[in-house]
Chain A
Amino acid sequence: MSSREEIFNELADAVVGGKQDLAVELANQAIEEGIDAYEAIMKGCAHGMSIVSDKYDKREMFVPHIMMSARAMNSAVEVLQPHVNVESVEDPGHVVMGVAFGDIHDIGINLVNSLLAAAGFNVHHLGRDVAPEQFIGAAKENNADVIGISALMTTSMLGMKDVVKLARKEVPGVKIMIGGRTRVPALLRRYRSGCLCRKCPGSH
């Protein structure tokens, strides 16, 4: 096994284990050894988070440990990102994310943001309690491919409908992704959303 692959595996392990300092150390080592930063993000950090994601699905990992992993990954990505050769990397797309109007629960969406970023997407996070107009404005501004809306409260899930309605009119080509505890199939059908995240970590 080459040293490159060893570093990727160690980086993935550090992310899975939530070892922030080790992840940063390995990211720095990758840069020093002239390893492609983008490859280190994808094959190290993102790979680690995808293992984490599988473990959540199998109930082998829960939110506290996932958050440790996300933190380790984010710190390593911070080190690697400035070294990514932007010209050689294909733009994977832009995602506008936010918690629906009237809702402030953001553990799940923060983790999803980390996963999307790790997978190479450009994530534009609008935060909590986001009005429908803000979603549309940000989608236009960033030429977004996807709008992601999360809601925990059954009351705020109603606000998702307004985002979808407005998006269909203003940015018809943009896909809509909905998540959070209120991710119910009936909602998907009713709002004709493009995608439903059934297993977002933290959607308690």
Chain B
Amino acid sequence: MDEMSHGERIKKAIDLKEPDRVPAFSPCSWGVNLAGDNINRMGKPEKDVYFPKFVHNPDIYADAWVKAVDRFGLDFVHVLVGSNVVALPMGCKEAEPPWGIPQVVGEAIEKVEDWKNLKFPNMDTDGKIPVQLSAIRLLDRELHERRGDDIFVTGTVMAPLTLAGFLLGVEPLMFAMIEKPDETKELIEFCADVGIECAKAQIDAGADHIFTPDPTASGDLIPADFYEQLELPAAKRQSEAIRKYKDKYAHHYHICGNTADRLEILAEVGMSVISLDNQVSLKEAKERIGSKVCLCGNVNPADTLFMGTPEKVEAESKQCIADAGPGGGFILWSGCDFPLDCPLENIERFYEMPKKYGKYPLLG
């Protein structure tokens, strides 16, 4: 029997203290495997609920997460009905493969300075935002109200620079950073505003926590000084707004790539939790920024969770807990979202790990 509720455990970790055990963050898109009868068809090409149906039907989406909670004892559930719910109403096009995360295939603007023509989406009516909000409401009702559980319902908005990459295209954005830095900054700040409003709508719908992934600000793509000049001010403002609107536990920032050269800069965002790519050593991150922000990560999603064995999942999870768990302030997760076809036995093993190796006080 756990000593703390899910919410108490998470809050303790974010307060950089030791909870009863290390909390674990949830997968996002992998949740589709719990939809309908998909769990009995894992690894097979025929599914009961394909991805488009999953992300267009809030009832199916929420039901899958409730099943995931019951199966894995999750601390968090994670709502993102697609790849990005605001890019579409702002003018992007999206392709929806039957078994894959929808992808933005058409950009909204051709030139960075055209950001002024972008539509500010209406959070109540536009695109799949209402589906996103309905899924959050359903989970809030079932988990919080009906069950009286304080599991963190997590909403999602893309971090500012990443949303800018969707709207303009990543290649043009890379050129614009060098050739039109002022306009690029304006676009990114505008994206921060859109993200803030979308986050507020999700909090109003019942979200406890907002996940803002920033793959396009990856340490493998842009240099640290670009991050500092272009993304940091916008991401910081967004983080402050989210935390002010909800509470100090409400913002989870994820960044891809090797960011070892800029961990201190990232911590300046002020997020409640930072999750790091598996290219970053959690041990090093713990030493450098572990006293400022709760760390989250970072089992290898492809090599280990998807293609590895449960034994490999166990060894790597144990190592993550040993590296970043001491003293608290740590949430176990993958280095990025879980691939859709991660085998069930790997996921099951992963969610057993905090109970096996993450109980405080940690054993040497």
Contacts and interface: CB of A to CB of B under 8 A. Distances in A.
Q: Do A and B actually bind?
A: yes
A156 interface: yes
Interface in B285-311: 300-303, 306-308
B341 A64 contact: no
Nearest to B226: A64
Contacts of A110: 171
A202 B257 CA distance: 10
Contacts of A105: 170
Nearest to A66: B174
Interface stretch (B118-126, B138-146, B204-212, B217-225): B217-225
A2 to B, nearest CB: 34
Interface string B229-271: 0000000000000000000000000001110010000000000
Given A64-B177, A102-B97, A154 B103 contact: no
Interface string A154-172: 1111100000000000000
Contacts of B100: 102, 153, 155-156
A107 interface: yes
A98 to B, nearest CB: 16
A64 B175 contact: yes
Contacts of A121: none
Contact of A182 (B105, B216, B220, B302): B302
Interface string B88-101: 00000001010111
Contacts of A204: 215-216, 218, 220-221, 256-257
Contact of B261 (A59, A103, A186): A59
* Count class of interface residues, chain B: 35 or more
B341 A158 contact: yes
B170 A107 contact: yes
A187 interface: yes
Given A67-B171, A107-B174, A204-B216, A186 B256 contact: no
B194 to A, nearest CB: 22
B178 interface: yes
Contacts of A104: 95, 103, 105
Interface residues of A, number: 31
Contacts of B216: 204
A184 B223 CA distance: 24
B112 to A, nearest CB: 13
A15 to B, nearest CB: 15
11 contacts: A18-B178, A64-B175, A64-B178, A64-B221, A65-B178, A153-B100, A153-B103, A155-B99, A155-B101, A187-B307, A204-B218
Contact of B222 (A64, A102, A155, A158): A64
A104 B223 CA distance: 24
Contacts of B101: 153, 155
Q: A59, A104, A154, A158 — which one has the most chain B CB atoms within 10 A of its CB?
A: A154
Contacts of B220: 62-63, 201-204
A158 B302 CA distance: 11
Contacts of B307: 184, 186-187, 190
B340 interface: yes
Contacts of B340: 154-155
Nearest to B307: A186
Nearest to A202: B221
Interface of B: 95, 97, 99-101, 103, 105, 170-171, 174-175, 177-178, 215-216, 218, 220-223, 226, 256-258, 261, 300-303, 306-308, 339-341
A185 interface: yes
B259 to A, nearest CB: 11
Given A153-B101, A184-B303, A67 B341 contact: no
Contacts of A190: 307
Contact of A154 (B105, B170, B301): B301
A64 B217 CA distance: 11
Nearest to A199: B220
Given A182-B302, A186-B307, A63 B99 contact: no
A65 B222 CA distance: 9
A68 interface: yes
A49 B223 CA distance: 19
Contacts of A103: 103
Contact of B302 (A59, A71, A154, A201): A154
Q: A104, A155, A184 — which one has the most chain B CB atoms within 10 A of its CB?
A: A155
Contacts of B99: 155
Q: A64, A68, A105, A187 — which one has the most chain B CB atoms within 10 A of its CB?
A: A64
A157 B339 CA distance: 10
A157 to B, nearest CB: 7
Contacts of A68: 175, 178
A156 B103 CA distance: 12
Contacts of B303: 184-186
Contact of A63 (B222, B258, B302, B339): B222
A11 to B, nearest CB: 20
Nearest to B222: A62
Contacts of B256: 204
